[in-house]
Chains A and B, each alone.
Chain A
Amino acid sequence: MFILIKKHLLLMLIFLFCSANSYAKINVFACEPEWASLVQILAGDRVKAFSATTALQDPHHIQARPSLIAKARRADLLICTGAELETGWLPLLLRKSANRKILPGQTGHFMASDHVLLLEKPKQLDRSQGDVHADGNPHIHLDPHRIMRIAEALSRTLSRVDADNQADYQNNWISFKESWSRAIAKWEQLCQSLRGKQIVVNHNSWVYLEDWLKLKRLATLEPKPGIAPGSTHLAQVLVQLKDSQADMILYASYQNDKAVRWLEQKTHIPVVELPFSVSTNETLFEWYDRIINQLLDSQ
């Protein structure tokens, strides 16, 4: 009798374990919300995506908090920007979480910047130039064409991490490619009027957006990347703006807006506070829509 019960229990356990396994979701640890959103589009219900940062946090400067170590410990796939954006916390997180699957060189280690060409690769590496990234500017998520390339690569990675559902990932990629191309065409149509607009930025975060929409950067409020704007530099910017009037001032919502507001008061140039990444309950598509609407509204 007992043996029978034991057998049944064992069978049930095995069944539970197996079924749990076949429905187990791929745990994705995304360093930034845009990658969490992208993987959600490309993999749907097959993944459980977690973003280490929110749109209101500076991805350069967060800490390897205990909660992040715990999340990284359980991840099957790590998706980050790379290009030294997360250099202040990711290496430590990887060492602390001791999770082989997401280490560099493994299938589960995906760096978006490995798959696209980076702009503004510095010719000279010197800390007196501020917080420079040796590989180039890492804020690649603001160019939809680069997103497309990254999505293609990510879709291939998903197929390798979870080979059983390869067909699904392939299909998702094809439909993403279609809808994203349509969206790009729509955005580019809408943004024709923005071509050649002159902008002032807080931090050099908008290089790819400028390149895509053909915006012209007149000045940067930070004297050097990562160095807060001081009064001397701001005065110079003000003089510069007297000669050539800018159309708008851009800054990311996680950044300090003190310098931006000061300049707005002095020059009456409209300020646009853009969300630097996807918010909760928002898709990549909706986020791009939001940015573009904000830019158009500011005209």
Chain B
Amino acid sequence: MRKKFLVAATIAAVSHINPVWADSDIEALRKQVEALKNDYEQRINALEERLRQSEAKTQLAQQKVEQIADKVATSKTSASQQQNTFNPAISLTLDGRYADFDNDPDAYELPGFMLGNEAGLGEEGFSIGHTELAISANVDNKFYGKATLAIHEHEGETETELEEAYIQTLGLGYGVALKAGRFFSAIGYLNEQHEHAWDFADAPLIYRGLFGDQLRDDGLQVSYVAPTDTFMQIGTELLRGDRFPGGGDHDGVGAWTVFANIGGDIGIEHSWQLGLNHWRENDVDDRTSGAHSHDGGPAETPSFSGDSKINSLDLVYKWAPNGNPTSRNLKLQFEYFDRREDGMITMLNSGPPEEVSTYDGQQDGWYTQAVYQFKPHWRTGIRYDRLSSNNKGSDEDVLAEAGLDDEGHTPERYSAMLEWLPSEYSRIRLQFNRDDSYENSDNQVFLQYTHSLGSHGAHQF
């Protein structure tokens, strides 16, 4: 540009300096200037061309730098990722509550059901619930492994329990999966879920009555998902059978289950699942339940030995507008269990003579609940529980002492809860129960928090 200007200036200057010059001289000068101009223009063009080329080269270089930066960044990312993935996912669930009961929680009973395992109302006042430490990861390309430690207070002592410890196959393919170790049984809808994933602070009465809140055992589970558009799953579990509601010392398969689930979607907004389950233990030996003593004498403990089988049905339905559950969603749930038992009841430490009775037990119960998330971070729900039993034996008094007489009472319970979930990792819950488990009605209030730290695995449907 500058050069062009110079040329123009020169021309202007030259053409004005001496107007008296002859025409031929001017002509010669003009030619010279013209030549000069051409020369400069050529040079300028050449320069511009070189500039263009170098610019293009710079751009290319820059692109390459960017690409390399990309590569460096991605390689850094993958390195740090790898280090993370070698560490298993660790999650810690903190759970605490304040509970208020009208009745003495130690007087709790469920007429017609022998309570065992963790059945009961828990502590009144401030207490911590289950603190769960779960560690899980893919072991390799074939297996997934998980262990859960539950730490809780029991009669003033802190107990640590290995709640779950299992491996599960990943890569068998064809819809077949094997699970081995200690795990929650797949029978029932709620049973497989961890307590902190439940929608209420306590277990349904039928879970409390039959399993002492939850059924888990050591063993092997095989399941198969069919290659169909509708979800169809069948499975079986071979279990040790020593734990409540089984009992004894088995050196083979003490208990077994079969389960089947089907489910699917109706349109985009509705989904459902139906499950049928069966649990059986033919040789329950000495299953004991809560002891009680007469007038300060030695504690008498009821014990059951015999056959036990459970059939159950569960149904879950979920709705979310546009299938997007983030702001609003509804969940309806129903489960029914029926248990038949045949054997003997013995009151340990009784007599002499020891009190015994034959036992022909029929117990069943159901609950149904609805939980509605009415806006983001807020959920509310109601639940109704109902149990019944018709237990017979050679000595009604022994059955009554064992808690197997329904005392002419139908246990039932109404519950309502409101939850605030500040994020998907934290939850504060207020729950009220009108509990008619036994003849004295009880009003129960729970204020509970459940928070989870660290990696938080997906919850089941």
Contacts and interface: CB of A to CB of B under 8 A. Distances in A.
Interface stretch (A50-58, A175-183, A234-242): A50-58
B461 interface: yes
Interface of B: 70, 73-74, 77, 81, 84, 138, 141, 144, 168-177, 223, 225-233, 261-265, 268, 271-273, 318, 322-327, 376-377, 422-425, 453, 457-461
A173 B256 CA distance: 54
Contacts of B458: 64, 87-92
A117 interface: yes
Given A70-B232, A70-B264, A101-B173, A63 B70 contact: no
B425 A98 contact: no
A66 B263 contact: yes
B176 A98 contact: yes
A95 B144 contact: yes
Contacts of A105: 141
Main secondary structure of the interface of A (DSSP, over half): loop
A256 B227 CA distance: 37
A153 B256 CA distance: 48
Contacts of A92: 457-460
A87 B84 CA distance: 15
Contacts of A130: 423
A228 B376 contact: yes
A58 B324 contact: yes
Contacts of B84: 134
Interface in A45-98: 53-54, 56-58, 61-67, 69-71, 73-74, 87-92, 94-98
B70 A64 contact: no
Contact of B225 (A96, A136, A254): A96
16 contacts: A53-B323, A58-B326, A61-B325, A62-B324, A65-B265, A66-B261, A66-B271, A67-B230, A67-B271, A73-B227, A96-B225, A98-B177, A100-B173, A103-B171, A134-B81, A256-B327
A226 B326 CA distance: 10
Nearest to A72: B225
Interface of A: 53-54, 56-58, 61-67, 69-71, 73-74, 87-92, 94-101, 103-105, 117-118, 121, 127, 130-131, 134-136, 226-228, 254, 256
Given A95-B177, A100-B172, A56 B264 contact: no
Contacts of A256: 326-327, 376
Given A97-B175, A98-B172, A98-B177, A67 B268 contact: no
A65 B461 contact: yes
B137 to A, nearest CB: 11
Contacts of A136: 77
A20 to B, nearest CB: 14
B326 A61 contact: yes
Contact of A62 (B172, B231, B232, B323): B323
A63 B73 CA distance: 33
A25 to B, nearest CB: 14
The interface residues of chain B, by DSSP majority, are classed as mixed
Contacts of A67: 230-231, 263-265, 271
Given A98-B225, A228-B376, A57 B324 contact: yes
B225 A97 contact: yes
Nearest to B261: A66
A240 to B, nearest CB: 24
B457 A66 contact: no
A70 to B, nearest CB: 4
A54 B325 CA distance: 12
A89 B272 CA distance: 17
B323 A54 contact: yes
A30 to B, nearest CB: 15
Contacts of B228: 70
A105 B138 CA distance: 12
B323 A57 contact: yes
Nearest to A256: B327
A61 B326 CA distance: 7
Contacts of B327: 256
Given A64-B460, A117-B70, 4 more contacts: A70-B225, A94-B170, A121-B77, A228-B377
Contacts of B170: 94-95, 98, 100, 103
Nearest to B376: A228
Given A70-B232, A100-B171, A103-B170, A63 B324 contact: no
B351 to A, nearest CB: 53
A57 B322 contact: yes
Q: Which 9 A-B pairs have the closest CB atoms?
A: A66-B263, A100-B173, A66-B231, A70-B231, A92-B458, A56-B322, A67-B265, A98-B177, A57-B324
Given A63-B461, A65-B265, A98-B175, A70 B325 contact: no
Contacts of A54: 268, 322-323
Among A66, A67, A92, A117, find the residue whose CB has the most chain B CB atoms closer than 10 A: A66
A203 B171 CA distance: 37
Given A58-B324, A58-B326, A64-B460, A103 B141 contact: yes
Given A70-B225, A92-B460, A99-B175, A254 B168 contact: no
A57 B321 CA distance: 9
Nearest to B71: A117
A100 B169 CA distance: 10
Nearest to B138: A104
B172 A66 contact: no
Given A56-B322, A70-B229, A227-B423, A95 B168 contact: yes
A118 B175 contact: no
A241 to B, nearest CB: 23
B325 A63 contact: yes
Nearest to A60: B326
Contacts of B229: 70-71, 74
Contacts of A98: 169-170, 172-177, 223, 225
A147 B233 CA distance: 37
Contact of A74 (B227, B265, B460): B227
B81 A66 contact: no
A224 to B, nearest CB: 9
A103 B273 CA distance: 25
A289 to B, nearest CB: 23
Most buried by A among B144, B327, B461: B461
Given A69-B231, A95-B168, A96-B225, A64 B173 contact: no
